[in-house]
């Protein structure tokens, strides 16, 4: 790396995801005489993705992106620096327990101070969970809200059927494959075959467009919703642990992008980004009468999520929406449908 002659700008991190903090700890434990413990994977206006030794990816993001298990979030005042001085791919960086240092060009470097950042983790359960019948109403309201704004994912969209009930429909042949894989997974779970269900879900990995492919985003939403529902309703579904284990074991390296693989790994251990978690929590907590106006918690969370990426937010929502719908036999059902282990 360039010597000490380059100018250095200091910025502050306000929060660090639990998995990002763990990756930083692993990097600082690596023996390296030059203290070079990572490289820039990619850099965009709102996020820099950094590969730390021994191989984990973390992201330094602007404050308005929100928290996440792999995120280092800058303060609002410091956030514009990411778009102003994007580093080149492959530039080496230094890591300590209290700072990330990235050379942005030959004469300038950025030091991200971690010393006062709080640790963030995904909420594991909703304390004030509503009845499954109310969740069904929230799901219908969500689909209507998305459809009214003409928002679509990379694989699927929300549409109203002839019976005035909203559902998820494919927008491409890849979307048809995704929905077929999901239906196959539900049938396998109903038959008590969690390993077979995991095999069906693996068809989503790497499917569709995007830096994080749409199929991956759907799978992340699905896993996040199932994990939150299990904990919130205190269901203790043995099949969910088996499903997560099967995905972790059988998802082959190279099946998707390196960045997306990190997010899938996080979702398998029940960690998802804040924007997705906020929507899932609202679906399980919002009373159906609270939906008038876009200032309500569910609509506000939906607006933030659907702004994520070109289609990532809608794709993740579709996965979570389908997962929660699969747990309900029909709109207005009084109980969560138990799946056999």
Which pLDDT tens digits describe the chain residue by residue (341 residues)? 444 557 999 999 999 999 999 999 999 987 765 677 899 999 999 999 999 988 899 999 999 999 999 999 999 999 999 999 999 999 999 999 999 999 998 889 999 999 999 999 999 999 999 998 899 999 999 999 999 999 999 999 999 987 888 999 999 999 999 999 999 999 999 899 999 999 999 999 999 988 899 999 999 999 999 999 999 999 889 999 999 999 999 888 889 999 999 999 999 999 999 999 999 999 999 887 765 555 488 999 999 999 998 899 999 999 999 999 998 754 333 333 333 33
Which pair of tokens denotes residue 134? 């109310």
Among residues 277, 298, 307, which one has the least CA distance to residue 65? Answer: 307
3-class DSSP string for the chain: CCCCCCEEEEEEEEEEEHHHHHHHHHHHCCCCCCCEEEEEEEECCCEEEEEECCCEEEEEECHHHCCCCCEEEECCCCCCHHHHCCCCCCCEEEECCCEEEEEEECCEEEEEECCCCEEECCCCCCCCCCCHHHHHHHHHHHHHHHHHCCCECCCEEEEECCCCCEEEEECCHHHHHHHHHHHHHHHHHHCCCHHHHHHHHHHHCCCCCCCCCHHHHHHHHHHHHHHHHHHHCCCCCHHHHHHHHHHHHHCCCCCCCHHHHHHHHHHHCCCCCHHHHHHHHHHHHCCHHHCCCCCCHHHHHHHHHHCCCCCHHHHHHHHHHHHHHHCCCCCCCCCCCCCCC
Which pair of tokens denotes residue 86? 């994007």
Classify strands 118-120 and 7-17 as parallel, antiparallel or unpaired: parallel
Question: For residues 9 and 81, is the Cβ–Cβ distance under 8 A?
Answer: yes
pLDDT at 290: 66
Cα(109)–Cα(243) distance, integer angstroms: 44
Among residues 134, 227, 103, 242, which one has the least CA distance to residue 185? Answer: 242
Among residues 75, 69, 110, 132, which one has the least CA distance to residue 283? Answer: 132
Q: Which residues, at least 6 apart from 270, have a Cβ–Cβ distance to it below 8 Å? A: 122, 124, 223, 224, 227, 244
Which pair of tokens denotes residue 195? 């390993």
pLDDT at 106: 83
Reported for 176-182, long-range contacts at CB under 8 A and 24+ positions apart, including other chains, are 177/203, 177/207, 178/203, 178/204, 178/207, 178/208, 178/214, 178/215, 178/218, 182/218, 182/222, 182/322, 182/326
């Amino acid at each position: 790396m360039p010597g000490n002659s380059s100018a250095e700008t200091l910025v502050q991190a306000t929060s660090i995801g639990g998995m990002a903090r763990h990756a930083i700890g692993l990097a600082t434990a690596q023996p390296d005489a030059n203290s070079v413990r990572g490289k820039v994977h990619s850099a965009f206006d709102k996020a820099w993705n950094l590969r730390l030794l021994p191989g984990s990816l973390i992201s330094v993001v602007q404050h308005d992106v929100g928290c996440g298990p792999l995120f280092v979030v800058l303060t609002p005042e410091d956030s514009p620096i990411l778009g102003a001085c994007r580093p080149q791919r492959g530039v080496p960086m230094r890591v300590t327990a209290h700072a990330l240092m990235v050379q942005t060009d030959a004469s300038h470097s950025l030091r991200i101070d971690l010393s006062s950042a709080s640790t963030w983790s995904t909420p594991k359960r909703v304390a004030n969970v509503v009845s499954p019948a109310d969740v069904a109403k929230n799901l219908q309201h969500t689909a209507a809200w998305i459809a009214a704004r003409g928002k679509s994912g990379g694989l699927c969209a929300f549409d109203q059927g002839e019976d005035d009930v909203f559902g998820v429909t494919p927008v491409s042949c890849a979307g048809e494959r995704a929905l077929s894989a999901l239906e196959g997974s539900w049938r396998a779970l109903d038959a008590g075959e969690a390993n077979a269900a995991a095999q069906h879900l693996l068809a989503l990995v790497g499917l569709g467009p995007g830096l994080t492919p749409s199929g991956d985003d759907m799978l992340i939403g699905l896993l996040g919703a199932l994990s939150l529902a299990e904990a919130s309703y205190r269901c203790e579904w043995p099949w969910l642990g088996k499903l997560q284990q099967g995905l972790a074991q059988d998802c082959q390296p190279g099946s998707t992008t390196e960045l997306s693989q990190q997010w899938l790994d996080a979702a398998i251990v029940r960690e998802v980004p804040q924007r997705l978690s906020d929507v899932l929590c609202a679906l399980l907590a919002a009373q159906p009468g609270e939906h008038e106006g876009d200032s309500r918690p569910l609509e506000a969370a939906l607006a933030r999520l659907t702004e994520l990426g070109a289609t990532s937010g809608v794709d993740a929502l579709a996965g979570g929406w389908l997962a929660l719908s699969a747990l309900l036999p029909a709109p207005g059902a009084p109980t969560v449908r138990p799946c056999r282990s």
